Structure 1
Amino acid sequence: MTDRPELSRRELAGYAIGSVGTGIHSTVPGLLLLYFMTDALGVPAGLAGLVVALPKAWDALFNPLVGAASDREALRTGRRTRILLAGALALPVAFAAMFLSPLTGAGAAAWVAVTFVLASSAFALFQVPYVALPAEMSDRPRPAPGSWSGGSSA
């Protein structure tokens, strides 16, 4: 372990802000996406359920790849920020696109499926390196960055 200086409140707050975006992506589709697809876009309920399940299956394949890439980047450059930043920039665009389908019915289901997989991919690019950061931010045995992060997601 190296002797890193104590993290400032600003650094802790900066880390904690990331939990706001992750909370939105983790919560909103589960609460609204099925209703939105069936009632606003006219997607049959069974198809809408399949669309919501598809990104979860994709996550099981994609997230380990992101983890490996994040670890390689951290070893090579000492930072994980490039992958994290790519996800942070792409996620709001893909997330908004899920709710901006110009189509209805089966076409809307395809639109939402593609944009939800893209949003889930962007989420993985942000979230996987993000949860690895606290161990690299501080040598303290008490998880201060994680405590701040949990508080901001409440």
Structure 2
Amino acid sequence: MLREAVLKNGGGWHGHGWVGDGKWIVKKGNVSSTGRCLSCSEQLACVDTNEVETQKFVDSLVALAMERKAKMNSCESDVVFSEFQDWLEKHGDYEAIVDGANIGLYQQNFVDGSFSLSQVLPSILCIKISTNFLFFHFFFCFRNPLKYSTNGPPNL
């Protein structure tokens, strides 16, 4: 179904195939409530996936995450990620899940590999404001110890 919709609508990049060819123009933009790109005026295709396709997509993301963790040589990572998957399966019906680790590491260049927790809460608040999500956030960390930037941990 997904492949048919992509092909029917000219591919995944405004009619130039899935990846496209030629020179790309990359810039920030917005999408209207009708699905029109306000930057280039193209109508974006709506692709609805069934439960099987959605599960395949989730499985592929999990496989990528596990592969990345394995490359980090962490013995505990597979167990921790599996525990998170199990917890999410039991408790999760979320509109958005924010990867605090990636936000906390964004544009960080600390020699000791520090992590800026002070970037996480503003990011979550920004998502809440920009999307009008009416959700309460919670914050959790994996068991691995965190190294903070010189500002120390924020008051969350």
When normalised by structure 1's length, the TM-score is: 0.28
When normalised by structure 2's length, the TM-score is: 0.28
Hey, which of these two has a bigger chunk of helix by percent? 1
Specify which structure has the bigger relative contact order, considering alpha-carbon pairs within 8 angstroms and separated by 6 or more residues: 1
Question: If you compute each CA radius of gyration, which structure gives the higher value, 1 or 2?
Answer: 2
